[in-house]
């Protein structure tokens, strides 16, 4: 049985349920926390994760005194393999390597360096 409270305000009668208010007191904070958690996750997934990955790769390349950018490394690596890539393909590969295989940039750079050394001989 619901507890109804009648309230008169400006010659109008409002009936509202105390049980409904109790439910709102519980549901509203849960909804607020859920919305904040989902928005935080999306900000991390869409913005911060990519930025942190790129920064990590840049720091690794600087650590080994490599002056090339990841996109330059990809372009030269595939040119040495005999493949010509469009800028869009290079960007797509850079995004994939950045997210899934960041160690490949060093491997590709080593392959480029070895190829340059073998061409000099």
SS3 57: helix
Q: How many domains does the chain have?
A: 1
70 versus 11: the higher-pLDDT residue is 70
According to the model, what pLDDT value does residue 4 have?
Answer: 52
Number of helical (H) and strand (E) elements in the chain, helices listed first? 5, 2
More confident call, 14 vs 100? 100
Give residue 118's pLDDT band: very low, low, confident or very high (50, 70, 90): confident
| Separation between Cα atoms, residue 52 and residue 74, nearest integer Å | 20
Summarize pLDDT for 18-67 with one digit per residue, the tens: 566 777 788 899 999 999 999 999 999 988 998 999 999 999 999 999 99
pLDDT of residue 1: 45
Given this model, what pLDDT does residue 3 score?
53
Q: Which two tokens stand for residue 66?
A: 């490599």
Tens of pLDDT, residue by residue over 56-104, are: 999 999 999 999 999 999 999 999 999 999 999 999 999 999 999 999 9
Largest CA distance in the chain: 99
Tokens 């372009």 belong to residue? 75
pTM of the model: 0.69
Q: Which residues pair with 5 in a beta bridge?
A: 16
Q: Which domain holds residue 82?
A: 4-120
């Amino acid at each position: 049985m619901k507890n109804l409270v009648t309230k008169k305000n400006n010659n109008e009668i409002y009936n509202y349920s105390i049980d409904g208010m109790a439910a709102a007191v519980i549901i509203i904070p849960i909804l607020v926390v859920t919305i904040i958690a989902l928005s935080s996750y999306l900000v991390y997934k869409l913005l911060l994760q990519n930025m942190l990955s790129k920064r990590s790769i840049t720091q690794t390349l600087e650590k080994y005194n490599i002056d090339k950018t990841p996109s330059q490394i990809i372009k030269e690596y595939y040119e040495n393999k005999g493949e010509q890539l469009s800028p869009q393909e290079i960007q797509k590969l850079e995004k994939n390597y950045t997210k899934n295989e960041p160690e490949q940039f060093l491997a590709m750079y080593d392959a480029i360096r070895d190829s340059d050394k073998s061409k000099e001989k």
